[in-house]
Amino acid sequence: MSRVALVTGGSRGIGAAISKTLKDAGYTVAATYAGNDEKAAAFTAETGIKTYKWNVGSYDESAAGLAQVEADLGPIDIVVANAGITRDAPFHKMTREQWQEVIDTNLTGVFNTVHPIWPGMRERKFGRIVVISSINGQKGQFGQVNYAATKAGDLGIVKSLAQEGARFGITANAICPGYIATEMVMAVPEKVREAIIGQIPTGRLGEPEEIARCVKFLVEDDAGFVNGSTISANGGQFFV
């Protein structure tokens, strides 16, 4: 039986590339999405990957959704916490709603996704957690106090889970993508985006598949000694 992988936000952008790459590698994949039924249906029709709709910001919805995935496909061995949103604004204009929405999805969403299935992973003595953080969690970003806070927080989650899970065969690692050619980055004003590309030594945006290949490496059965690490995939834009 192939291992079951769950990818949150797995039907679009980087998440879609991760879902497809894992399926091609032989995993049984479930992808979650938050809102766009039509796009999710098209994704399932194109890839054969089952999609599930829930809000990762809600613990109850996440727990129920995860239980449904396990009832359909079997115990979840691999979690890729990828779902994320931006609500960019300079701090003096940032509203409490913009702060809270980003915290709920990008930070609490990781807790909500991993916590309900953590006991099962401990019992089965195997688990792979990959959290998609961001270059902007490492370096901060003008206009992203909320987003950078969550992505830095995600690194704290990973480094702590890595220590707690290690003796149960569970690893937790983070990937910090730089600027990748997705709708999220295309939503950045063109002038700002061009300036950012100018700061990337590789001279281009990354491709979603370049992040997906990092995930594939981290979730393999024989990657057990890679634990608590952060892979920076950013075209050389920022070194830690």
Stretch near ligand CAA under the rule CB under 6 A, chosen from 9-17, 62-70, 132-140, 206-214: 132-140
Task: With CA atoms as reference, report the closest residue to 161 among 173, 151, 153, 150.
Answer: 173
Residue 170: φ, ψ to 5°? -105, 130
Q: Which residues ranging from 136 to 195 are in contact with ligand CAA (CB under 6 A)?
A: 136, 141-144, 147, 179, 184-185, 188-189, 192
Looking at 33, 52, 147, 179, which residue is catalytic?
Answer: 147
Q: State the minimum distance, in angstroms, from the CB of residue 51 to ligand CAA.
A: 22
- Name the residue with the smallest CB distance to ligand CAA: 143
Q: State the minimum distance, in angstroms, from the CB of residue 68 to ligand CAA.
A: 29
91 binds ligand CAA (CB under 6 A): no
Residue-wise DSSP of the chain: -PPEEEETTTTSHHHHHHHHHHHHTT-EEEEEESS-HHHHHHHHHHH--EEEE--TT-HHHHHHHHHHHHHHH--EEEEEE---------GGG--HHHHHHHIIIIIIHHHHHHGGGHHHHHHHT-EEEEEE--HHHHH--TT-HHHHHHHHHHHHHHHHHHHHHGGGTEEEEEEEE-SBSSHHHHTS-HHHHHHHHTT-TTSSPBPHHHHHHHHHHHHSGGGTT--S-EEEESTTS---
Is residue 147 part of the annotated active site? The answer reads yes
By C-beta, is 36 or 95 nearer to ligand CAA? 95
Q: Which residues ranging from 3 to 42 are in contact with ligand CAA (CB under 6 A)?
A: none
Q: State the minimum distance, in angstroms, from the CB of residue 58 to ligand CAA.
A: 23
By C-beta, is 74 or 189 nearer to ligand CAA? 189
Q: State the minimum distance, in angstroms, from the CB of residue 141 to ligand CAA.
A: 5
Q: State the minimum distance, in angstroms, from the CB of residue 194 to ligand CAA.
A: 12
Interface with ligand CAA (CB under 6 A), residue from 48, 74, 90, 156: 90
Residue numbers at the binding site for ligand CAA (CB under 6 A): 86, 88-90, 93, 134-136, 141-144, 147, 179, 184-185, 188-189, 192
Please list the active-site residues: 147
